[in-house]
Amino acid sequence: MKNHSRRKFVNSIVGGSFGIGALPLFSFSPKAEENILGRRELPVINEVDICVLGGSCTGVFAAVRASRLGAHVAIVEKQNAFGGVATNGLVNIWHSLYNTEANKQIIAGLTAEVIERLSKRDAVIFSDESKRGYFTLNTQELKIELDELVLTYGITPYLHTLFSEPYLDGEGKLTGIIIDNKSGRGIIKAKYFIDATGDGDLCFRLGLKSYVHDFLQPPTTCAYIEGFDEEKFNSLLKKYGKEFNIPEGYVWGAKVPSTNSYMLAGTRIYGVNCATADNLTQTEIEGRRQIRAILDMIRKYDDKIKAGLVGLPSYVGIRETRHFDCLYQVSDDDALYGKNFDDAIANGSYVFDLHHQDKPGITFRWLDGTERYSRPGYPDVKGRWRKEMDVNPTYYQVPLRSLIPKKTDNLIVAGRMLDASMISFSGVRVMVNMNQLGEAAGVTSYLALDQNKKITDVSSKDVRKELAKGGSIIM
Amino acid sequence: MKNNSRRKFISNIVGGGLGLGALPLFSFNSETRGFSPADSEMPVINEVDICVLGGSCTGVFAAVRASRLGAKVAIVEKQNAFGGVATNSMVNIWHSLLNTEFNKQIIAGMTVEVIERLSYRRAILRSEKSASAGVTFNSQELKIELDELVLESGIKPYLHTLFSEPLLDQDGNLVGVIVDNKSGRGIIKARYFIDATGDGDLCYRSGVKSYVSELLQPPTTCAYFDGWNNEQFNSLLKEHWKEFNIPEGFVWGAKVPNTNSYMLAGTRIYNVNCSIADDLTKAEMEGRRQIRAISDMLRKYGKDLKVGLVGLPSSIGIRETRHIKCLYQISDNDALYGKRFDDAIANGSYRLDIHHQDKPGLTFKYLDGTEIYSRPGFPEEKKRWREEIPVNPTFYQIPLRSIIPQKFDNLMLAGRMLDASIIAFSGIRVMVNMNQLGEAAGVTSYLALNQNKPIAKVNDKEVRNELAKGGSLII
C-alpha cells in the first residue's frame, strides 16, 4: 500500500479546470528489444495490491476508489482507451441520478464527479425538463477524462492488453493473471482481483459457475451520423427496412454534445452471445452491415437528408452475456418491487426494458406497475404488469452479495455479469448503475486488503460507510 | 484450396452500386470452447492454407489476392474492424497514384478497386494533383467496405483476436500461430504465414532478426473535429503552444468526405517505440492529452470557433517501429534515385518526409533533387539535396526481396516492417505503397502454396505476372 498525500494533489488537479498543463509524469521505463523466443518462464511484470480487469467506467471507478483509499492498483484494458460501452461503444447517455418521482437523488459518487468534470469541457447536455432528465455525454471527451483520472490517482494502466488466463499457485489460489500485449505474455501478481471484463472472463476461466439467460438482450452497433433526421428515418425504415435487410427493433439516439453529430443506436444483432469469439466477430461485421444498410436506404429514398457517417464504435455495444453465481441473485421481484437490502451498494431507477429476441420492439416496465410495448412505427400498447398498490417504490437496489462469486476469497465482479435474473437485469444493467458496482467493488477490495480478510468476510456496513464517505449515496 | 466461381460473384457485387441488399451469409459456427485452469491442451481452431496476421488494408489486400487465386485464408485482427491506420487510426488520405510528374499512373490494383467502391457511397474526394494527397476517404465507410471484401472473398475473419505466439514443430518449422480472444487461446494452423502486424510480431517472436532505425518517426493521435478552422488554429498554436504543453511539430489534416468533420493530424509523441507495450500505453494517453490541450487552447483563446471533438482513434497512428531483416534492404539511394528492380512489386511517388525526433517540423526530399524544411508558422526553407542531373526519376520501386525474411520457408511480411533504411522508409511507408506490399505478399504466398515451394524460391517474374493479371501496375 502507498502512503502519500494523493488527495491533496488530486484536489489541486480536479479544481484546475482549463489549461491543466502538468499531468503526472509517466513512470514507464523503456525496455530494450529483447527476444522472447524459447522463453518458457513468463516474466512477472508487476505486483500490486489490487488488479482490475477491464477498463470501462465500472473498472476505472473501481480502480479509482481503491486507489484513493491507498491501494496500489493496476488496470488492464484490451482497447486503446478507457470507458467501455460509453466510449468504445459510443453509447453516450447516462440515465437519471434521481428516483422515479424526481424528488430524491439516489446516485452520486464518481458518476456525478465525472459529469461535473465533463461539463467544464462543454461535454454534457442535461435534458432538464425535470430532475428525471438524463445526461448526454461527449464520450470522446470522456476517454480523456478517464485517462486523467487514472493518471491522477497513480493507477498503472495497461492499454491494448488482453487478459489471457488466471495464474494460480501450487495450492490453486488465485495469485495473478497472465496478460498478453505487444511485449508478449506476462504475469501481473495481485492480492485481490476485480473482474470488470463485462463477460466475467476471469471468473469463467477459473471455472466458476455461470449462466446465460434464455433471452439475451441483443447487442447494438451505434454510429455517429451527421445530418440525421430521426422522424424521416423512422418512416423510411417502416417502408423500406425489408429491402435493405434491416431487422425490426427499437431505435433511439442522442445528439453528441458540442458537435453536429447524432449518435444513432439503430441496429440489433439477434441470436448471438458475444462472450464467444466467433459470435463477437460475426456481430461486429453484421452490425456494420446494418449501418451501411441504413445509409444506403437513406441515400436511395431520401437523398435530401445527406446523412454522412462520422463514427463507428471500436467495440460493439454489448448489453448482456453470461452471469455468475454469487452469494445472492437479484430476483425480478426484488427489482420490480424495489426491495431494500441491508447490504445495498447501488440504487437505480432506470426502467426495465426487455429487448426481445423473439419479436421486434421493447417492453418497458415501470416501478409504478405500468408497462408499455413499443415498436417503431406502431402505436404504443399500454397496460399494467401488476395491480395498483398504496405506495409505489421509487427506486430499486443492488446488494453487495450479488457481486461476490461463491467459493472465492480474493475476487469480486463489477459489471453486467452480476448475479441477476432476467427482468431485474434489464433495468439494473445501465451504466449509472454499473458505475456504482465498480465503486463498491473498489471499496470492498480495499477493505479486504486493509483488514487482511477474504472479500466475503468484509462487513457490508463498513463498505457502505466507506462508500458514503467517498461521495456515494447510500440508502 | 477452394474451387469456386468467386470472381464472377465478386464482379456482380462490385458492379452493384447502391442498395446491395444481400451480402453472403455468415459461415460461422458458434461452438463454445470450455475453460478451466486445468485445461492445458490448446485447441486447433482452424487449419488454412495461408494465415494473415494483422487486418490493415495491407493485410486484407494480401488475404483477398491470395483468396481470389484459390487459397483458403484466415485473417487475424486485434481490433474490431479492418483497415488499420486508415480506419482505426483515422488517417484518411491516400497519396497520389501517379508519378511525380503526374503524367503516368504507377499504382492500381486493390487500391483503385477500393477507391471505386467507396465512391459509390460518396466516401471519396479526389484531390488536385498534389504531392500531399491523392484521395481523401471516409474511413468509417472504408471499415464496412473491407468487411464486404473479406466476406465476399470467403476469407475467415478473426476480429478482437490477438496474435500471441508462433507454434513451431519439433524440427523448428513454423506450423501455426497461437491466438487469444474471447474464447481463449487456440491454434490456427497454416502452410504459409503473412506477417502484416505492422510491428512484425510474428517474425520477432519467431526469432527473425530485426532492427530499429536511429530516429523513429513519431506516432500521431488523429482526431475528428467539428467547426475546425486551420488558419486560426495555426496562429493560436504559434502563440500559445507552450502554455498547453503542445509539442511543436507538423500539422496536417483533411475534411472527412460526406461530413463536416475535419481530421486533424496535429499531435506527435516523441521518444517512444510503440512495439513495446508500456510505450504504446504511454503514447495513447499522451496523444489524447495533446488533443485535449489543443481543445483547451481553442476553448480559452478561440471562443468564436466552437470546435467540438467528434472522434478519437481506436489505435494510435504509428509510423514506424522495428524493421525485419530480409533478403534485401532498400537503401536511401535506391529510393532517392528511383532505382529500378527486376523483382519490383510496388511503385511509389510519395515524397520522402523525414519526421525529426530532434527538432520540430519536417524535411521533404523530392526525387527531382530539391528539399524543403517545413515548420508550422515559419517560412519554408528550400534547397537541393543533390546537384541537378539530366533526367530525374519520377517514382521509386520496392523489390520483393525486401519483404522476405530468411529464417523460415513459409513466412513473409507485408507492411511498414519491411527491410528499408531510414530515408528510403520515410517515403515508402505511406499506405498506397503498403497496400501494394500486401497484394504482393498474397500473390507470392499463393504461388508458393500452389507450387509447393519455399517463399524465397518463388519466381519473381511469376509474381509480377500474377500481380499484373490481378490488376496491379507492374513496371
Of residues B158, B279, B295, nearest to A28 (C-beta)? B279
Q: A169 at the B interface (CB within 8 A)?
A: no
B440 Cβ contact list (under 8 Å, min separation 6): B345, B346, B400, B403, B414, B463, B467, B472
> Are B181 and A258 inside 8 Å of each other by CB?
no
Mean pLDDT score across all residues of chain B: 90
As a whole-number percent, the residues of chain B with pLDDT over 90 amount to: 80
pLDDT score at B24: 35
**B254 contacts in chain A (CB < 8 Å):** none
Residue of B nearest to A146 (CA): B285
Measured between beta carbons, the chain B residues lying within 8 angstroms of A161 are: 277, 281
CA–CA distance from B66 to each of B2, B165, B399, B467 (Å)?
A: 11, 23, 19, 11
Res. B451: pLDDT tops 60: yes
Least confident of A83-87, A246-250, A306-310, B467-471: A246-250
For residue B9, pLDDT over 60 is answered with: no
Widest pairwise Cα distance in chain B:
72
According to the model, what pLDDT value does residue B278 have? Answer: 97
Q: Output the pLDDT for position B396.
A: 98
Of the partner residues A147, A272, A312, the one whose CB lies closest to the CB of residue B143: A312
Average pLDDT, stretch B339-362? 90
Beta partners for residue A400, in sequence order: none
Residue A146: CB partners within 8 Å, gap ≥ 6?
A: A55, A57, A60, A81, A82, A83, A87, A114
- Asked if pLDDT for residue B90 goes beyond 60, the answer is yes
Per-residue confidence (pLDDT) for residue B4, from 0 to 100: 43
B-chain residues near A316 (CB < 8 A): 80
**Residue A323 identity (one-letter amino acid):** H
Q: How confident is the model at residue A305 (pLDDT cuts 50, 70, 90)?
A: confident
Which residues, listed in sequence order, are joined to residue B53 by a DSSP beta bridge?
A: B76, B195
Contact between residue A11 and residue A113 where contact means Cβ atoms under 8 Å apart: no
β-pairing, A352-355 vs A362-365, is antiparallel
CB–CB contact B36 A168 (8 Å): no
| Helix axes of B139-152 and B6-14: crossing angle, nearest 10 degrees | 150
- Going by C-alpha positions, the residue among A95, A360, A363, A106 that lies closest to residue A254 is A95
DSSP state at residue A217? P
Q: Write out the H or E segment, with its range, that includes residue A307.
A: none
Question: Do the Cβ atoms of B427 and B46 come closer than 8 Å?
Answer: no
Specify the pTM: 0.91
Chain B within 8 Å of A141 (Cβ-Cβ)? yes
If you average pLDDT over residues A142-165, what whole number do you get? 98
Enumerate the residues of chain A whose CB falls inside 8 A of the CB of residue B256. Answer: 308, 310
Whole-angstrom distance, CA of residue A114 vs CA of residue A133:
17
- A22 has a chain B CB within 8 A of its CB: yes
**What element of type H or E holds A8?**
helix A6-14
Nearest CA in chain B to A312: B140
- Which of B147, B164, B243 is closest, CB to CB, to A289? B147
Contacts of B178 in chain A (CB under 8 A): none
Say yes or no for a CB contact (<8 Å) between A36 and B205.
yes
Q: What average pLDDT score do residues B432-445 get?
A: 98
**DSSP code, position A472:** -
- For residue A310, list chain B residues with Cβ-Cβ distance below 8 A: 140, 224, 256, 259, 261, 310-311
Tell me whether residues B161 and A286 touch, CB distance under 8 A. Answer: no
Q: What is the distance, to the nearest Å, from the Cα of residue B400 to the centroid of all Cα atoms in its chain?
A: 17
Angle between helices A431-450 and A109-119 (to 10 degrees): 120
Q: Tell me if A204 and B35 make a contact (CB, 8 A cut-off).
A: yes
The percent of residues in chain A predicted with pLDDT above 90, rounded, is: 80
In this model, does residue B34 exceed pLDDT 60?
A: no
Alpha carbon of A111: minimum distance to chain B alpha carbons (Å): 21
Whether A276 sits inside 8 A of B258 (CB atoms) is no
A170 touching B, CB under 8 A?
Answer: no
Residue, of B238 and B205, whose pLDDT is higher: B205
Chain B contact present for A164, CB below 8 A? yes
pLDDT number for residue A441 = 98
Helix (H, G, I), strand (E, B) or coil at B465: helix
Please write the tens of the pLDDT for every residue from B152-170.
999 999 999 999 999 999 9
Dist CA B303 CA A71 (whole Å): 41
- Please give the residue of chain A at the shortest CA–CA distance from B180: A164
- How far apart are alpha carbons B30 and A269 in whole angstroms? 14
**Where do we find the cell 494460480?**
A168
Least confident of A242-251, A441-450, B197-206: A242-251
Nearest residue, CB atoms, A309 vs list B31, B140, B147:
B140
Taking the CA of residue B273 and the nearest CA in chain A, the distance in Å comes to 9
Contact A276 B183 (CB under 8 A): yes
Asked if A226 and B165 come within 8 Å (Cβ–Cβ), the reply is no
pLDDT at residue A127 in the model: 82
Mutate to test the interface with B, among A120, A159, A269 (most CBs of B within 10 A): A159
Is the pLDDT assigned to residue B6 strictly greater than 50? no
How many contacts, defined by CB atoms under 8 Å, are there between A and B? Answer: 275
Whole-angstrom distance, CA of residue B97 vs CA of residue B129: 10
Asked if A138 and A256 count as a contact pair (C-beta separation under 8 A), the reply is: yes
pLDDT of residue A40: 56
User: Cell for B302?
Assistant: 478561440
DSSP-derived secondary structure letter, B271 = S
For residues B319-326, average pLDDT: 97
A276 vs B277: CB contact, 8 Å cut-off?
no
The yes-or-no verdict on residue A247 having pLDDT over 80 is yes
Take residue B41 and report the three cell numbers written for it.
Answer: 491442451
Identify the weakest region by mean pLDDT among A229-243, B62-76, B124-138.
B124-138
Q: Does A305 touch chain B (CB under 8 A)?
A: no
- Above 80 in pLDDT, residue A385? yes
Q: How confident is the model at residue B378 (pLDDT cuts 50, 70, 90)?
A: confident
Comparison of pLDDT for B453 and B12, the residue scoring more: B453
- Quick check: A224 contacting B, CB < 8 Å? yes
Nearest-neighbour CA in chain A from B199: distance (Å) = 9
H-state helical runs in A15-96: 57-69
Distance from the Cα of B344 to chain A's closest Cα (Å) equals 31
- Amino acid identity, position B437: L
A32-36, A45-49, A101-105, A128-132: which is most confident: A45-49
Greatest CA separation for chain A: 71
CA A77 to centroid of chain Cα atoms: 13
The three-state secondary structure class of B13 is helix
The reported pLDDT for the residue numbered B40 is 56
Alpha-carbon distance B274 to nearest alpha carbon in chain A (angstroms): 8
Residue A139 pLDDT class (50, 70, 90 cuts): very high
Residue B304 pLDDT: 80
Look at A296 and B138 and tell me if their CB atoms are within 8 Å. no
Q: How far is A137 from chain B (nearest CA, A)?
A: 11
Neighbouring CB atoms inside 10 A of A55's CB total 30
Kindly state the DSSP code that residue B330 receives in the 8-state scheme.
B
Q: How far is A309 from chain B (nearest CA, A)?
A: 7
Of A318-332, A415-429, B229-243, B323-337, give the lowest mean pLDDT range.
B229-243
CB contact under 8 A, B26 and A38: no
Q: Which residues neighbour B379 within 8 Å (Cβ) at sequence distance 6 or greater?
A: none
Q: Over 60: is that where the pLDDT of A95 sits?
A: yes
pLDDT (0 to 100) of residue A23: 37
CA distance B41 to chain A (A): 14
**How far away is chain A from the Cα of B164, in angstroms, using its nearest Cα?**
7
CB contact (8 A) between residue A261 and residue B226: yes
For the cut 80, the answer to whether the pLDDT of residue B321 exceeds it is yes
pLDDT of residue B347: 98
Distance between B251 CA and the closest CA of chain A, angstroms:
20
B279-312 pLDDT tens trace: 999 999 999 999 999 999 999 998 788 899 999 9
User: Going along B361-419, which residue ranges are E strands?
Assistant: 362-365, 370-374, 381-384, 396-399, 411-413
- What is the per-residue DSSP string for A327-396? S--B-HHHHHTT---TTEEEEE-PPEEEE-SSSSSEEEE-TTSEEEEE-TTS--EEEESS---SS----E
For residue A417, pLDDT over 50 is answered with yes
pLDDT of res. A130: 64
The answer to whether B282 contacts A28, with C-beta atoms less than 8 Å apart, is yes
- For chain A, the average pLDDT equals 90
pLDDT reported for residue A377: 77
Give the C-alpha distances (Å, rounded to integers) separating B277 from A45, A183, A241, A381, B283. 11, 5, 45, 53, 10
pLDDT at B14: 31
pLDDT of residue A129: 64
Contact A26 B282 (CB under 8 A): yes
Q: Does the structure show a pLDDT above 80 at B33?
A: no
A180 CB within 8 Å of a chain B CB: yes
| CB-closest option in A79, A182, A261 to B276 | A182
Q: List the 255-284 stretch of A: residues with Cβ below 8 A of B.
A: 256-261, 272-282, 284
